[in-house]
Structure 1
Amino acid sequence: MSPIEPIFDKKYECLFCKKPFISKKVRSRFIKVSHFDSDFFPIYQSEDANPLHYHIMVCPSCGFSFSEDFSKAFPPGAKETITHEVCSRWVPHNFSGKRSIHQAIQTYKLAILCGSLKKEKHITMAGIYMRVGWLYRLLENQEQEQRFLKLALKEYEDSLYYGDYTRTQVTEIRLLYLIGEVSRRLNDRQKAVQYFSQVIEKQRQSVEPNIIEMARERWREIRDNS
């Protein structure tokens, strides 16, 4: 009996062209987190079973790339724009096999293009930008990591302003913390303190005491290093 592989084939239907295709996923039993960075970046015990590599699905037929967080609806005009900007330029490529970190980054950049043209939610786009930043962190490419954290921060702030994080797994407390933490990582201490303070002020309303404590820890670090 052959051993069970960490990654397996999962069937998907393209949100855009509706054609079926296969994309890899990591079996839950193999997903083992060693620890989390302060911006919730999960460090996995094995790079062979890193779910970050397979977060994005890329349709081999039309090139439309998306995550499970993408909505199924397309606003008026979006399909025509995607056909022109993505599908008509798509050189058939298959990302259905095992992905290297560089291939994973490619899929995220494709999803950024598609999500932007589709006018996907700010909170969804923020999550994609953050994951690219995390992958560049693994590659120790600080310049690119900072670039994508800045893009994520803009989307997180827009999500808070427009409220499109509601009805997602991201709570207001988590969003405020993320804006503070990403600001801290981008060396904007004033903004970081502002948002960490908002998190701490909401402690009586929160059911996420771990995030309250994380905000306190980051606030202390900024104070002690100032």
Structure 2
Amino acid sequence: MTTIEPLYDKNCLCPLCTTSFTTKKLRSRFIKAKGFDSDFFPFYEEHNPLLYYVNVCPACGFAFADQAEVRLNEAEKAILTEKISSQWNPQNFGESRTIRDSVKTYKLAAYAGILRHEKHILIAGLYIRLAWLYRMLEDVNEETRFMKLALSEYELSYSTGDFRGTQVSEIKTLYLAGELCRRTSKTEQAVKYFSKVIEQQSKTIEKNIISLAKDGWLKIRELQKA
């Protein structure tokens, strides 16, 4: 009887240099979430798909999120080639990854996204995942640093409205800004964001986010009382 392995090879075509390469992904049957932290950090029983979210071309170093549909124009190709590919030492992230391997892939994807002027909501998603990875490594300083970076991008996304047309709703953007404020000791700003979320409780179908905002607001109140 053939044993089904958790990881399989996915074929990719680099949008920058057109190199074909394979990278590991987790089969969905092996992905079993146990729960989520208050900033949506997922807990998995064993195999963690977060480690394989980013694809990295081994030839040129261009990195892109698994769900991204990347179409590069000539100006983007020029800046990516100059800033990334010309300085790239060929290396392969296409096999089984450690958490630290995965950290490198997210940083590469975030840098490429910044060079391409990607939407703030997409950069925020990479930064918050980096914070989660550092949480797994128990590196509080780096976790906090990337939470602050993610917060800045969520705030910019909300102010510019660039979350529209993505899978991240306005209410989720507001909630994550509030929760990241709370986690980085920006209490007054956290209360403001949580209040904006709670104000929408009669209009939204995302009732779980309303509950999370109320929990976050209560945690702040309890801390202030203490």
TM-score, structure 2 length as denominator? 0.96
Give distance in 2, aligned partners of 1:67 and 1:33.
20
Tell me the residue number matched to 2:44: 44
SS at match of 2:35: strand
Tell me the residue number matched to 1:178: 176
Q: Report the Cα offset of residue 187 of structure 1.
A: 0.5
Tell me the residue number matched to 1:222: 220
Q: What are the Cα deviations for residues 142-200 of structure 1, in whole angstroms up to 9, with x where unaligned?
A: 00000001110111111111111111110111111000000000011101100000000
Q: How many residues align?
A: 224
Quickly say closer, same or farther: Cα 1:80–1:126, change in 2 above 3 A.
Answer: same
The answer to whether the 8 A contact 1:70-1:124 is kept is: no
Q: Does 1:65 align with 2:63?
A: yes
Give distance in 1, aligned partners of 2:33 and 2:137.
18
Tell me the residue number matched to 1:150: 148
Q: Report the Cα offset of residue 206 of structure 1.
A: 0.3
Tell me the residue number matched to 2:35: 35
The answer to whether the 8 A contact 1:129-1:149 is kept is: yes
Tell me the residue number matched to 2:14: 14
Tell me the residue number matched to 2:82: 84
Tell me the residue number matched to 1:2: 2
Q: Does 1:135 align with 2:133?
A: yes
Quickly say closer, same or farther: Cα 1:75–1:219, change in 2 above 3 A.
Answer: farther
SS at match of 2:24: strand
Moved over 6 A (4+): none
Unaligned runs of 5+ in 2: none
- Code of the aligned partner of 2:170: E
Tell me the residue number matched to 1:203: 201
- Code of the aligned partner of 1:186: T
What's the C-alpha RMSD, in Å, of the aligned pairs? 1.2
SS at match of 2:166: coil
The answer to whether the 8 A contact 1:12-1:21 is kept is: yes
Q: Does 1:95 align with 2:93?
A: yes
Percent same amino acid at aligned positions? 48
TM-score, structure 1 length as denominator? 0.96
- Code of the aligned partner of 1:179: A
Q: Report the Cα offset of residue 37 of structure 1.
A: 0.3
